[in-house]
Amino acid sequence: MQKYGAEFLGTFWLVLGGCGSAVLAAAFPHVGIGLLGVSLAFGLTVLTMAFAIGHISGCHLNPAVSVGLWVGGRFPGSQLLPYIVAQVLGGLAAGAVLLLIASGKAGFDVTAGFASNGYGEHSPGGYSMLAAAVCEVVMTAFFLIVIMGATDKRAPAGFAPIAIGLALTLIHLISIPVTNTSVNPARSTGVAFFAGGWAIEQLWLFWVAPIVGAVLGAGAYRAISGTERA
C-alpha cells in the first residue's frame, strides 16, 4: 500500500503541476509561460517526484511506463494493475483540484479543453489522428529507453531523475503542438474526465498509443542492453 500511495501522490503532482501550468499559466496575460514553460513544468514534476518517491515505488506515475517496465523485466506483473489504478486515481484527483482552482476565475469554461489531449480539430496544431498516433508511440518509446537506460545498474548512480525529467521536457517541446502531449494515459484521463465531450471520445488513442510505444521502447532497450536487469 505504501507503493500504491506513492504512485497516487506522484501522479497527482504530475497532473496538477503539468496540466495546471497549461490551464492556469500558459497564456496568463503579459507573463504567460507558454509552450516552453509547460514543457519544463511537466519535466519538473517527474524530476522532483523521482527524488521524493523513487525509493518507495520507483516513481512510474504513468500506466504506460509501468507496462513498459513490466515488458522490460524491471517490474512484477502482480503489481501492474494496482499501480495503474493508483495512477489513474491520482490523475483524477488532480484534475478535480485543478478544476476547483480554475473555476475560481469568472468565465472559465472546462469544455474548452482543460489541457486535454486531442487530434484532428482538437490538436493544437491541427494534426491528423495518424500523426498524433505516430507521435505518441515514438515519444513514449524513447521515454522508456531513457528511463530504462538511466536506471540501468551500469548507468552513473544518482542521475536518473535528471535524465528522465529532461527527457519528458524534451518530449513536450516536440509534441505539444501535435497532441498537447500525453505519453501518459493517467495524465490524459485526469483532465479528459472533467472536460467531457470530445476529450472523452478521443481518449482511447492516448491509452493505446503510449502503451504500444512503451512496449516497443522496452523491447528496444532489452535488445541493445545485453543481459542486465535492474
| Average pLDDT rounded to a whole number, residues 103-108 | 91
| pTM given for the model | 0.93
Q: How confident is the model at residue 228 (pLDDT cuts 50, 70, 90)?
A: low
Q: Which residues contact 19 (CB under 8 A, 6 or more apart)?
A: 94, 95, 98, 114, 115, 187, 190, 191
pLDDT digits (tens, 9 = 90+) for 6-60: 999 999 999 999 999 999 998 877 778 899 999 999 999 999 999 999 999 999 9
Q: What percent of the chain has pLDDT over 90?
A: 89
Q: Is residue 227 over pLDDT 80?
A: no
- Inter-axis angle of helices 2-20 and 34-57, nearest 10: 170
Q: What's the mean per-residue pLDDT of the chain?
A: 95
pLDDT of residue 30: 75
From the centroid of its chain, how far is CA 18? Answer: 9
pLDDT of residue 1: 86
pLDDT of residue 230: 44
Q: Tell me the residue type at 129.
A: M
Higher pLDDT: 229 or 92? It is: 92
Burial class (CB in 10 A: 0-12, 13-18, 19+), 54: middle
Q: Beta-carbon neighbour count of residue 153 at 10 Å?
A: 8
| Average pLDDT rounded to a whole number, residues 191-200 | 96
Q: Beta-carbon neighbour count of residue 53 at 10 Å?
A: 21
CA-wise closest residue to 60 among 119, 140, 129 = 140
The helix/strand count (H/E) of the chain reads as 9, 0
CA-wise closest residue to 58 among 77, 75, 41 = 75
Read off the C-alpha cell for 209: 498509443
